[in-house]
């Protein structure tokens, strides 16, 4: 399912596009599931799905429905959708290695992003950072730290606030010289006008697969209406604990804040009614 051309382009550019990854019924189910959760304000919960914004309540990059794989079968299907999961597994590269003992992949973030007029996200990441979690690496096959699958849930053309990438920047040794200035634009950051950046246009159902080390962000949406995408971020299974053990609630209570952060880095963010019954066993 992963062609030699996909491998070549992913290595060269840091991204590939899988056309028509989601079928029309799958798209309709995803959009109906989202419709049933709207309207929603930043900070509100819909079941186990949390409305979140990277910039806080002013949400200049749009609102995210975090943990959307909790929203029902339409989004559960996207966890290992056959249109792209083999690409992801190969690009993460855990298969047939020491890392595959308890599965080869881990989803560290999954959300729907809803972006309206005036909203965008600034240029971030790039090979110069060297961050292991996001890194691009090829050695005896691909070993990327994070591969993102961004699925278009509606058409994304000019003015729709499409994702922008700097092809090849996952291997960059230097930071883009404009990254600071373009981050600081008045209406919030966007990638519009950044030299070397290309806007990716997608039809509803297409999936953009990119290594997070590529310098990326989005154009500002100028059209009316909302851009709807769903983003699942995959990493190697060691992004979670190696074995199916979990620290006990007692241990976590006894530890210092710093110790707890090392043993169990993610404090849980749960709907208030779930907080009492979700301490780690």
Contact positions vs ligand AKG (CB under 6 A): 113, 121, 148, 163, 216-218, 231
Residue 263 beta carbon to ligand AKG: minimum distance, rounded to whole angstroms: 28
Residue with smaller CB distance to ligand AKG, 6 or 61? 61
Vertex 80, ends 75 and 85: CA angle to 5°? 130
Residue 195's H or E segment, with its range, is none
Residue 264: burial class (beta carbons within 10 Å; 0-12, 13-18, 19+): middle
Residue 259 beta carbon to ligand AKG: minimum distance, rounded to whole angstroms: 30
Please choose, from the candidates 277, 273, 250, the residue with its C-alpha nearest in 3D space to the C-alpha of residue 264: 250
> What residue number has its CB nearest to ligand AKG?
163
Residue with smaller CB distance to ligand AKG, 66 or 99? 66
Residue 251 beta carbon to ligand AKG: minimum distance, rounded to whole angstroms: 34
- Phi, psi for residue 147 in degrees, rounded to 5: -120, 125
Residue with smaller CB distance to ligand AKG, 99 or 211? 211
Residue 49 beta carbon to ligand AKG: minimum distance, rounded to whole angstroms: 18
Residue with smaller CB distance to ligand AKG, 100 or 185? 185
Please choose, from the candidates 94, 58, 87, the residue with its C-alpha nearest in 3D space to the C-alpha of residue 148: 87
Strand partners, 17: 208
Residue with smaller CB distance to ligand AKG, 217 or 236? 217
Tokens standing for residue 184: 């600081």
d(CA 257, CA 217): 33
Residue 118 beta carbon to ligand AKG: minimum distance, rounded to whole angstroms: 14
């Amino acid at each position: 399912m992963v062609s030699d051309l996909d491998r070549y382009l992913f290595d060269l550019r840091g991204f590939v596009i899988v056309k028509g990854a989601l079928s029309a019924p799958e798209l309709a189910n995803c959009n109906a599931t989202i419709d049933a959760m709207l309207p929603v304000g930043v900070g509100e919960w819909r079941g186990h799905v949390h409305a979140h914004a990277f910039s806080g309540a002013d949400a200049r990059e749009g609102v995210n429905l975090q943990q959307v794989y909790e929203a029902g079968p339409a989004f559960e299907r996207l966890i290992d959708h056959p249109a792209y999961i083999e690409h992801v597994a190969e690009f993460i590269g855990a298969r047939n290695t020491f890392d595959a003992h308890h599965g080869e992949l881990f989803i560290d973030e999954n959300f729907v992003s809803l972006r309206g007029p005036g909203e965008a996200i600034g240029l971030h990441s790039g090979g110069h950072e060297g961050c292991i979690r996001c890194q691009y690496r090829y050695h005896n096959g691909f070993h990327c730290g994070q591969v993102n699958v961004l699925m278009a849930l509606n058409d994304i053309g000019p003015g729709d606030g499409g994702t922008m990438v700097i092809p090849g920047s996952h291997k960059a040794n230097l930071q883009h010289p404009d990254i600071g200035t373009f981050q600081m634009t008045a209406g919030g950051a966007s990638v519009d006008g950044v030299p070397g950046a290309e806007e990716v246009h997608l039809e509803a159902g297409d999936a953009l697969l990119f290594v997070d080390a590529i310098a990326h962000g989005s154009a500002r949406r100028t059209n009316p209406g909302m851009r709807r995408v769903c983003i699942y971020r995959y990493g190697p299974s060691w992004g979670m604990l190696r074995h199916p053990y979990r620290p006990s609630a007692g241990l976590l209570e006894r530890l210092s804040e710093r110790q707890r952060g090392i043993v169990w880095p993610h404090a849980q963010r749960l709907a208030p009614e779930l907080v009492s019954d979700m301490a780690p066993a």
